[in-house]
Amino acid sequence: MAQESSSNPPPPPPHWVIDLNSPPRPKVKNTNITNPPGYTEASSGKRTAASSKTPARKPPTTAETDTLKLKKSWELALAPAKALPMNAIMMYMSGNSLQIFSIMMVFMLFKNPVTGIFTTNEVFRRFESEGTRKQLWMVKACYVLMNCVALALGLWKVNGMGLLPTTRSDWLAWETERRPLERAIFAFR
């Protein structure tokens, strides 16, 4: 039995294997159909040697590069201000009670601006060049100001939670006892 099955040729591969291994048939273009208006052979993806030669783009000048760097640096400087409405809504919605969620939110609201202020020069280092150095100090000042506004939002939230010592009762430990200047004693008849 084993000898009979070994003498038979293997079965032919499935049709999909043959289709996968053979190259696709070339498509014959029907010359009876005209191209639609506005269609050109070059735009169909079949590029000829003449159409593949596009003019090379000239490199940007230093003035254009400096202008682009200033625009990008202003976008980066105003990014903390764009996050303020979202942070304000999140602070308002988290409530004034002491919960782990509101405490983490307040921590992040203080941490991000403080790290942003301390890393101002590193943030704007990639935008510095000879042409932008004099104009970049205003961008840095705006960035620091926007981070200070975010810190003020954090202070508002901490005050709303009752964690800032802003009332007289918060400082009772350092108050001295009042000494009366006079004493009034009631006498009964």
| pLDDT per position as a tens digit, 154-185 | 999 999 988 888 888 888 888 888 888 888 88
The per-residue pLDDT for range 103-150, each reduced to its tens digit, is: 999 999 999 999 999 999 999 999 998 888 888 999 999 999 999 999
pLDDT value of position 32: 79
Tell me the pLDDT band of 17, cut-offs 50, 70 and 90: confident
Long-range CB pairs of 11-18, under 8 A, 24+ apart, other chains included: none
Max mean pLDDT among 18-32, 49-63, 88-102 falls in 88-102
Q: What single letter denotes the amino acid at residue 107?
A: F
CA distances from 104 to 18, 83, 85, 138 (A): 62, 17, 18, 32
Whether 91 contacts 157, CB under 8 Å: yes
pLDDT value of position 189: 67
pLDDT value of position 178: 86
pLDDT value of position 63: 87
First to last CA, the chain: 137
d(CA 9, CA 27): 35
Of the chain, the percentage scoring pLDDT greater than 70 comes to: 88
d(CA 123, CA 104): 25
Whether 129 contacts 72, CB under 8 Å: no
Of the listed ranges 41-50, 52-61, 74-83, the least confidently predicted one is: 41-50
CA-wise closest residue to 70 among 13, 140, 18, 21: 140
